[in-house]
């Protein structure tokens, strides 16, 4: 069987999306560093905010979508959902890594410590571990259908674990900055900072879509190759 061009086309589309997003990301850096006021008390350290928050957003988006795709997979048994879940989990781990590294870099000058067992930090760290486990399980299974079913179960259980971890670690007092945009009253950021944040959120989301599309195309190609192997 000649490998179909569907997978390669998806990879190319993802690549283009990612390139566009990366170029735009350079624009976000410029906007955040050059055209956004320096925060009065935190100084330049606050600039990492435009990277940390969008990365966290993408990680949470990625993991939520893994949970939803997993639930749908067990219902519909569509291999596309499994491919998407796997792609989203991998990209989510990458964004989590950005979030978990930029956090301490900011935390050291501002909080005076690299790490603290604050509710949100703990939750995101466990999310990271959860999805490392998810990917490790996928890597350790040979059979494709089995891999899809098992990882879907872990994906669903993981999604339901999140509120439990959140509640149980919340009772340790939280040091993390409180929400400043998504809160009942109006956002408490000056408009220029808000502009840079939203630009960054949009670019990061595009980057997420680009990465997932690319990874999805690779999964498509892998599946096609495995099918050829199975048939032979």
Write out the residues near other proteins by the rule CB under 8 A: 74, 126, 129-130, 132-133, 136-137, 140-141, 145-146, 149-150, 152-154, 156-158, 160-161, 164-165, 167-169, 171
3-class secondary structure, 34 = helix
Burial (CB count <10 Å: 0-12, 13-18, 19+), residue 121: buried
Rounded to whole angstroms, the Cα distance separating 59 from 21 reads: 16
Residues 158-167: contacts with CB under 8 Å, at least 24 apart = 158/63, 158/66, 158/67, 158/130, 158/131, 158/134, 159/63, 159/64, 159/66, 159/67, 159/68, 159/70, 159/71, 161/130, 162/63, 162/123, 162/127, 165/122, 165/123, 165/126, 166/119, 166/123
Q: Please, what is the minimum distance in Å from the beta carbon of residue 46 to other proteins?
A: 31
Instruction: Return the number of the residue (160 or 182) whose C-beta is nearest other proteins.
Output: 160
Residue 82: partners with Cβ closer than 8 Å, 6 or more residues away: 69, 73, 147, 148, 151, 152
Instruction: Return the number of the residue (126 or 198) whose C-beta is nearest other proteins.
Output: 126
Instruction: Return the number of the residue (20 or 74) whose C-beta is nearest other proteins.
Output: 74
Instruction: Return the number of the residue (33 or 157) whose C-beta is nearest other proteins.
Output: 157
Q: Please, what is the minimum distance in Å from the beta carbon of residue 76 to other proteins?
A: 13
Structure letter (DSSP) for residue 39: B
Q: Please, what is the minimum distance in Å from the beta carbon of residue 139 to other proteins?
A: 9
Q: Please, what is the minimum distance in Å from the beta carbon of residue 185 to other proteins?
A: 28
Instruction: Return the number of the residue (6 or 136) whose C-beta is nearest other proteins.
Output: 136
Q: Please, what is the minimum distance in Å from the beta carbon of residue 97 to other proteins?
A: 17
Alpha helices in 77-117 (DSSP H): 79-111
Instruction: Return the number of the residue (37 or 163) whose C-beta is nearest other proteins.
Output: 163
Instruction: Return the number of the residue (100 or 203) whose C-beta is nearest other proteins.
Output: 100
Q: Please, what is the minimum distance in Å from the beta carbon of residue 175 to other proteins?
A: 18
Q: Cα–Cα distances in Å, from 191 out to 41, 55, 72, 187, 197?
A: 18, 21, 40, 9, 10
């Amino acid at each position: 069987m000649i490998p179909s061009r569907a997978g390669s086309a998806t990879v190319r589309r993802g690549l283009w999306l990612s390139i566009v997003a990366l170029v735009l990301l350079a624009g976000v850096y410029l906007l955040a560093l050059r055209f956004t006021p320096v925060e009065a008390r935190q100084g330049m350290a606050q600039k990492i905010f435009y990277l940390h928050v969008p990365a966290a957003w993408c990680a949470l988006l990625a993991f939520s979508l893994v949970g939803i795709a997993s639930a749908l997979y067990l219902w519909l048994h569509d291999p596309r959902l499994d491919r998407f879940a796997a792609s989203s989990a991998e990209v989510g781990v990458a964004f989590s890594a950005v979030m978990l590294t930029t956090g301490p870099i900011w935390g050291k000058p501002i909080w005076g410590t690299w790490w603290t067992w604050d509710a949100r930090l703990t939750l995101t760290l466990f999310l990271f571990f959860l999805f490392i486990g998810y990917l490790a399980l996928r890597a350790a299974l040979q059979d494709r259908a089995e891999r899809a079913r098992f990882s879907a179960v872990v994906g669903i259980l993981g999604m339901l674990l999140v509120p439990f971890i959140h509640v149980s670690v919340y009772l340790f007092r939280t040091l993390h900055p409180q929400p400043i945009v998504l809160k009942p009253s109006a956002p408490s950021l000056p408009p220029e900072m808000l502009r840079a944040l939203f630009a960054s959120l949009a670019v990061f989301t595009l980057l997420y879509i680009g990465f997932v599309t690319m990874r999805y195309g690779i999964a498509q190609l892998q599946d096609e190759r495995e099918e050829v192997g199975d048939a032979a």
